[in-house]
Amino acid sequence: MDMAGRKSPGVLVLHILSLLCATSLCLPTPKILDYDVDGGRDLDIFDINEEAGLNLVEGDIVLDKRQTRNSIIGDEYRWPTMIPYYMEDDLEINAKGVILKAFEQYRLKSCIDFKPWSGEANYISIFKGSGCFSSVGNRHVGKQRLSIGTNCDRIATIEHEFLHALGFWHEQSRADRDDYVKIMWDRISEGKEHNFNTYDDTTSSSLGVPYDYGSMMHYSKNAFRNGTEPTIVTKIPAFSDVIGQRMEFSDSDLLKLHRLYNCTQGSTFLDSCDFERENICGMVQGQGDKADWVRVAKAAGGPDTDYSNLGKCTGSGYFMHFSTGTANTGDTALLESRLLYPIRGYQCLQFFYYNSAGASDTLKIYVREYDKANPNGKLRFIKTIDGSPQELWQLHHVSLDAKTKFRVVFEGTKVGSGSSAGGLSLDDINLSETTCPEFIWRVKNFSHVMDNTPANTAIYSPPFTSKEGYTFQMKLYPNGTEGYPGELSAYANLVAREGDTGQKWPCPWKQMTMMLMDQNPHIQKRMSNQRSVTTDPNMKASGSDQFFWDDPRKVGVEVTDVDGSKYFRGPGYGTAVYLTHLRAKSRDFIKGGDAIFLLTMEDVSHLTESQPLPPSQPPSHPPTTTPHLPTATTDMCNHVECENGGICVVDEGEPTCRCMVGEDYWYYGDRCQYVGTLWDKTVLALASSLSVLGVMVVITIVSVCCVRMRYKKRSKSHSMIMENMHANGKP
């Protein structure tokens, strides 16, 4: 096997068989069937809203009758970079957890940050409406509502709706849209044509950024179609299946966000280095060491290429290498990052590591921390990177907890006395003030696995045990479940072994996240694909009295692992439409032939509690003993019927109809029972103008008459005076 993990065809077949062995072949019939959170359908935001009966502007935008499309133009529509939010009790617990993950992506990739509402005049109130929708920009209405309803709990969907709230319209409504895509008007569902309007650059700015087929704000090619043919045809055919991605921010999405909010750096981003520049990102050789890390494109004994480019680009492709083959026993080499200034007090260090050194040679991670007592810095040991030498670039995560100015230090040491041609190599280093993923599952030769695994056949990650003592694994169908060829299907399963103790069953409020990592060298440019699911201890299996998330020894089946050990696997919970093969083969999801899945299990039980209100605010929610269920807040709307497509929301404790607004019409009234149109306004304006004109004419006529009468009186009086003068002047 070479450094990229490639194998001969015969070995590849054996590799696939080993993945399938003891997992999905000849397994006992499960006691409880897997649950698909999407119902087997890959619904976009606009599909969800249409099924909910919502007729919103551009599918997911709420307008009021005062609003025009200049939200992105005026400074008054921008939020502060620290945005207050309030999560309503009616939100699903899984949605709350994913919302917090979306906030972390905003912090990592932009200067936008979020804080719990503490009494600010304007804030975003996130609730579970009947779909996914938002207003555009800061409307200065105090409590501005944003809906994350059923099936809206994907991270990209949440990021999309918050981009609306931050002031962005859809990409295909730009003034220059028709230069890049063709709208097939005859394929659009009747009455939905207005969703494809464009708006000139006097009312909606593109901020000088080129048209972006890859924007998460772009419609998919099938948006609002009336049949099976696409409604949007890209003028560059290669982008036909690119538009409408719901994975992550594109580079252009972030560029526009940075320009609108004058961002210079991500709030939690610290550093990234792929060593392509000779200045090695400001890193320095440590003092007192006896050897150096050297920037190279190839090293004796391996690796033959870097990991950033894998040798694809001539004249580039560098990494840092400490040659243990030429070092003496006991020699160390220190590579130190530039000075870094933490804010949060916790960090995640991520890097790729190639070990071709001797079996006893080591790589250790330190931080050098600076304070008044240690102005020159003091080294503190963090972790030794374990693992025997492999012909493979391996991904590693190290959690740090630096609270003062610091540097990250990589210490390579030649320990063994024997000679070796290799050494220790580093590439694609990223550091951010975020939490590290807990587990890594690397699937080698993934393209071959996708193309050659039979449909409805699963492979499984190793079982991973969380900090709380619960064990889970990811179940992946490389060629989809039955009826979903060309898809990746992904499910999370709880696992238990005989003798396991200390867990509470049914498993309460653990959120499992399955992320297919985009292996771009720079963490801020990654568009990873992820889905999260949460264990609800009250959930019953379909058609059964058994709890879905109960002890796998009770509701699961016994399976045999590849090493011969036995354990129990519970039912799977996930989606048949995790990602299409087409998207999985794009970007850097597969690199060097391999795919990397980052898996976590987090306790989210704290999200079952109501978010505290500011001290001066009256309670907006009655107490509830089951906060994961819809509360009386949503029940208030059960007896309110909004007409003409209006949406009932609870505002300041009272149910209120939010009326639909179109391009040339709007509904109003306490139940949206009245309709107003531009024609009505025109007629009213014309009538008003004519009335004013009529009054002015009457006033003018009266004024003229009065002046004439006054003039006649003055003339008559003057004549009488003249006559008297003549009379008095007679001899």
Per-residue pLDDT of 6-65, as tens digits, reads 445 554 544 544 555 444 444 556 679 999 999 999 999 999 999 999 999 999 999 876
pTM exceeds 0.85, yes or no:
no
DSSP class of residue 614 equals: P
pLDDT of residue 60: 95
Residue 91 dihedral angles phi and psi, to the nearest 5°:
-65, 145
Show the tokens assigned to 628.
């994961």
Find all residues with CB under 8 Å of 550, minimum gap 6, and list them.
505, 506, 507, 570
pLDDT higher than 60, residue 620? no
Of the candidate ranges 161-165, 381-385, 670-674, 683-687, the one whose mean pLDDT is the lowest: 683-687
Find all residues with CB under 8 Å of 358, minimum gap 6, and list them.
324, 389, 414, 415, 416, 418, 420, 422
Q: Dihedral of CA 399/403/406/411: which sign? A: negative
pLDDT tier at 386, thresholds 50, 70, 90? confident
pLDDT > 70: percent of the chain: 80
Mean pLDDT of the region 540-550: 94
Show the tokens assigned to 709.
């009468």
pLDDT of residue 701: 76
pLDDT tier at 649, thresholds 50, 70, 90? low
Q: Which residues pair with 558 in a beta bridge?
A: 568
Of the candidate ranges 252-261, 486-495, 516-525, 683-692, the one whose mean pLDDT is the lowest: 683-692
Find all residues with CB under 8 Å of 699, minimum gap 6, and list them.
none
pLDDT of residue 158: 98
DSSP assignment of 325-370 equals SSSPTT-EEEEEPPPB--SSS-EEEEEEEEE-S-TT-EEEEEEEE-
d(CA 304, CA 186): 55
pLDDT > 90: percent of the chain: 71
* Residues 217, 170 contacting (CB under 8 angstroms): yes
pLDDT tier at 315, thresholds 50, 70, 90? confident
pLDDT higher than 50, residue 626? no
Question: Tens of pLDDT along 142-183?
Answer: 999 999 999 999 999 999 999 999 999 999 999 999 999 999
Mean pLDDT of the region 300-306: 95
DSSP class of residue 57 equals: B
Question: Tens of pLDDT along 173-223?
Answer: 999 999 999 999 999 999 999 999 988 776 677 889 999 999 999 999 999
Question: Tens of pLDDT along 98-123?
Answer: 999 999 999 999 999 999 999 999 99
Mean pLDDT of the region 509-533: 98
Find all residues with CB under 8 Å of 389, minimum gap 6, and list them.
355, 356, 357, 358, 359, 422
d(CA 540, CA 551): 13
pLDDT of residue 731: 38
pLDDT higher than 60, residue 415? yes
pLDDT higher than 80, residue 136? yes
Give the catalytic positions in this structure. Answer: 161
